[in-house]
Structure 1
Amino acid sequence: MNKKQDIVLDVLDKPKASQWFILSLQHLFAMFGATILVPYLTKTNPAVALVASGLGTLAFLLITKGRVPAYLGSSFAFIAPILAAKASGGPAAAMMGSFLAGLVYGIVALIIKRTGIKWLMKLLPPVVVGPVIIVIGLSLANTAVGMATNDTNGNYSTPHILTALVTLGIVIICSIYLKGFMNLIPVLIGIVGGSLFAYTQGIMDFSKVKEAAWFEVPDFYIPFVSYTPEFSWGIVLIMVPVAIVTLSEHIGHLLVLNKVVDRDYIKNPGLHRTILGDGVATMVAALIGGPPNTTYGENIGVLAITKVFSVFVIGGAAVIAITFGFIGKITALISSVPSAVMGGVSILLFGIIASSGLRMMIESKIDLGDKRNLVISSVILVLGIGGAVIRVSDQLEIHGMALAAIVGVILNIVLPHEKGAKQKETTTSENTTPKTYAS
């Protein structure tokens, strides 16, 4: 009863017109830093990423019948695969791979609708997903340090490393000491503070912002208009296995959202609908040239603090994100942020992603004294972080993270459990609620 009284706006409540914009803007701020960091790292257009996140969120709300207040933004899990796909076949290959990864969600949703959820939980236990999440974070470590240390020509730069350290310090201080909503946007505060410091170091250029028009159509990358899509098994093997991780992330977010909003979204509107919504959001992003989307833990945190659960507020944030994508000066400002600033932010974010995988294993009570668990996690970590590649032909390769995920799933299926361990693992998975992990 008290919980209901604490709710400011329930899921289907409409906010007052005077409050709607501010409430929606909070969600935009919460997702903004992470969502624009992904296109920055993958060399895609940040304006397109904003539009993609907004359209993807609206599609998700529509598919889930307006019952699930979740915001979807750019997925960190796809950074390394997108870079690998671009190196292999260019931007067109990356977009095709993203679309196919979203299609996998649709297939999984259909299977869940017909068979239930237990098989998915068995396929993706914490002993597989935890190490793969660690791989996502640590495989990007060199990228973060390189951006923090080097100038645009790849040479060591003292102003750049100082800017990165100041940015990192701001994000850490905000994460530890700020309270309430401000504690949810340390990345955004760090980017702003780091950019101001970068200006004092002479590495922040506002000339593009002055030259940019207020209204500007984003540089969309559309199939059959900007390029001709081509199917490739190599791209499938680079991109599609990442869905193994993002599906688990989706389920974890949904279970946390259940507790925050006091609903059972696994049953109503159903996990099949939320997974389908996530997949359609990723396909929509791929069709306009944006990075794949995923549910955001940051926005679940906003719900928990504000007690504003309204899907109309989430929809409002999506509309604002789309609008921002068409404002040229905002796009130019995002593009002007120095790599050192993003490098400083990335040092912490990528480390948090890796730590989230470790936390998942600890909270799920994965016993590394069990040789089976030790083998699975060890093989995943070395294959993924080491960047192992299996080259079947010139057009067919399985890269680091994808290879690690595939091998992890296979090992989990074929390796026998130690006597008594299987029952213990089953009991643990039934009694442990997945937490919200990094986006």
Structure 2
Amino acid sequence: MKKQDMVLDVRDMPKAGNWLILSLQHLFAMFGATILVPFLTEMSQGVALISSGVGTLAYLLITRGRVPAYLGSSFAFIAPISMASQISGLPGAMIGSFLAGLVYGVVALLITMFGLDWLKKVLPPVVVGPVIMVIGLGLASTAVGMAMNDADGNYSGTLLTVALMTLGITILAAIFFKGFFGLIPILFGIIGGYLISFGFGIVDTSGMKAEWNEIISSGSFIELLGAIFSAPEFLVPFVHYQPFEVINFSIVMIMVPIAVVTIMEHTGDQMVLSKVVGRNFLQNPGLNRSILGDGIATMIASVLGGPPNTTYGENIGVLAITRVFSVFVIAGAAIIAILFGFTGIFVAIIEAIPGAVMGGVSILLFGIIASSGLRMLIDNEVDLGDKRNLIISSVILVIGVGGMILQFELKDTTITVSSMALAATIGIILNLILPGREKAYGNGKMFETEPEGEADHDPAA
């Protein structure tokens, strides 16, 4: 990439007048998707924003300020968190998330010791693509249920109307909006659907009214600050629960294997980001540091009671359009997210978003996730006409989307392996044991280490 193509380089600090606007752009790009995950898993949206911001700052520190990436809530963990919560409540899911973060650290250590060849053998595109499709398609029934059913599971034409109107706004924004606005159709859909919901009278405003009444009744400046800023409902181990009382082997089997999928998502994001910025982030600061930073962010989120974090493709799109690659802008977005998470009235506003609105945007968002898995197969030119590839992808899809689980008894404890983990595991085994393994990589672009047509440079190195 030519220097004049950049507005701000990775280590450039923006002018004070532009810093806030540039950081808000990144926050808006990830906002809609990040608050959807805690909505679906019955977590606090405020905690999700705070853990996202803190996790991003930790990621920037671990990668030595060389990778302009923002981390938000991971969709791959939605179904596993729900399953784990049914076994040991949300604390159990948080312990599982923490252990999944440890897997990132192990993988980072293995990459440091042995390079990337072993990862390539275990997770080729023919395995990762279908597993990503399972993430989206496995959540399809959740999106449709939110769109047309009330809290008791009863069909509602009103809710379906709101959901379809929300979906329509989201689609129109995605198709017709250009530049940065074209990157945040989910946010436009949520805002539009929210406003429509007020017209249909399905918004519970009691939380917003309570926060506002507390603000206007403040008698002093100190009381006003206390009314505006308040801590959300954190879920901290050894404070709100005892980790060793909620952890069991079932939670480990449900949560930990999902890290394999998210690590591959992270690797793909790093390669795309390398091409956009014109650096080779897999080499400098290294995929090991990047994966470690992602894992530490997930562990931080689990300690706070927020959903696991992952790098966000939406923010890569912002970088591509604005050509602003500054890590200071990313850090600014993280700090704003933390402030929003501590702002009671803001959290009350987002917590009042009706389920039908989130269902409407989820129809598109979950479909995009599934399509991105299909795109991985296409971009890597994986030949599904080959019987080996066809068998592996077909088995992964049916097991994952069909909801097959594995249960067995171990010392009077029922162990459950989730459908996504089972699908990924069987896909990996099939790829390793079936002959003709070279066909699983397609054109091999997944693990390219050189950005296409761009120089690897870092003036701060």
Question: In structure 2, how many angstroms separate the alpha carbons of the residues matched to 1:426 and 1:125?
Answer: 5
* Equivalent of 1:347 in 363, 373, 385: 363
Q: CA deviation at 1:150?
A: 1.0
Q: CA deviation at 1:432?
A: 7.6
Q: CA deviation at 1:23?
A: 0.6
Q: CA deviation at 1:371?
A: 1.5
Q: Relative to structure 2, which stretch is displaced further, 355-364 or 169-178? A: 355-364
Q: CA deviation at 1:433?
A: 5.6
The C-alpha deviation readout for 1:240-271, integer Å capped at 9, x for no partner, is 11112111111111011111111111111111
Aligned residue for 1:315?
A: 331
Q: Which runs of 5+ in 2 are unaligned?
A: 212-226, 450-461
Counterpart contact for 2:124–2:441, Cα < 8 Å: no
Aligned residue for 2:129?
A: 130
Aligned residue for 1:227?
A: 241
Q: The residue matched to 2:28 in structure 1 has which SS? A: helix
Aligned residue for 1:117?
A: 116
Aligned residue for 2:231?
A: 217
Counterpart contact for 2:125–2:440, Cα < 8 Å: no
Aligned residue for 1:279?
A: 295
Q: Does 1:326 align with 2:342?
A: yes
Counterpart contact for 2:431–2:440, Cα < 8 Å: no
Q: The residue matched to 2:228 in structure 1 has which SS? A: coil
Counterpart contact for 2:135–2:369, Cα < 8 Å: yes
Aligned residue for 1:437?
A: none
Aligned residue for 1:403?
A: 422
Aligned residue for 1:200?
A: 199
Question: In structure 2, how many angstroms separate the alpha carbons of the residues matched to 1:139 and 1:97?
Answer: 20
Q: The residue matched to 1:319 in structure 2 has which SS? A: helix
The C-alpha deviation readout for 1:166-215, integer Å capped at 9, x for no partner, is 00000000000000000011101110000101111110132311212421
Counterpart contact for 1:42–1:79, Cα < 8 Å: yes
Which amino acid in structure 1 is aligned with residue 112 of structure 2?
K
Counterpart contact for 2:127–2:431, Cα < 8 Å: yes
Q: Percent identity at matched positions? A: 63
Question: In structure 1, how many angstroms separate the alpha carbons of the residues matched to 2:439 and 2:399?
Answer: 28
- Normalising by structure 1, we get a TM-score of 0.95
Question: In structure 2, how many angstroms separate the alpha carbons of the residues matched to 1:31 and 1:372?
Answer: 38
- Relative to structure 1, is the Cα distance of residues 426 and 136 closer, same or farther in structure 2, using a 3 angstrom cutoff? closer
Q: Relative to structure 2, which stretch is displaced further, 143-152 or 387-396? A: 387-396
Q: Relative to structure 2, which stretch is displaced further, 234-243 or 65-74? A: 234-243
- Runs of 4 or more above 6 Å deviation: none
* Equivalent of 1:261 in 254, 277, 289: 277
Which amino acid in structure 2 is aligned with residue 214 of structure 1?
I
Q: The residue matched to 1:395 in structure 2 has which SS? A: strand
Aligned residue for 2:215?
A: none
Question: In structure 2, how many angstroms separate the alpha carbons of the residues matched to 1:257 and 1:400?
Answer: 31
- Relative to structure 1, is the Cα distance of residues 423 and 39 closer, same or farther in structure 2, using a 3 angstrom cutoff? closer
Which amino acid in structure 2 is aligned with residue 161 of structure 1?
L
Alpha-carbon RMSD across the aligned residues, in angstroms, is 1.4
Counterpart contact for 2:35–2:45, Cα < 8 Å: yes
- Normalising by structure 2, we get a TM-score of 0.91
Q: CA deviation at 1:47?
A: 0.3
The C-alpha deviation readout for 1:251-296, integer Å capped at 9, x for no partner, is 1110111111111111111110000000000000000000000000
Which amino acid in structure 2 is aligned with residue 396 of structure 1?
I
Which amino acid in structure 1 is aligned with residue 349 of structure 2?
L
The C-alpha deviation readout for 1:303-362, integer Å capped at 9, x for no partner, is 111111100000000000000000001100011000000000000001111111111112
Question: In structure 2, how many angstroms separate the alpha carbons of the residues matched to 1:139 and 1:9?
Answer: 40
Question: In structure 1, how many angstroms separate the alpha carbons of the residues matched to 2:418 and 2:282?
Answer: 33
Q: The residue matched to 2:295 in structure 1 has which SS? A: helix
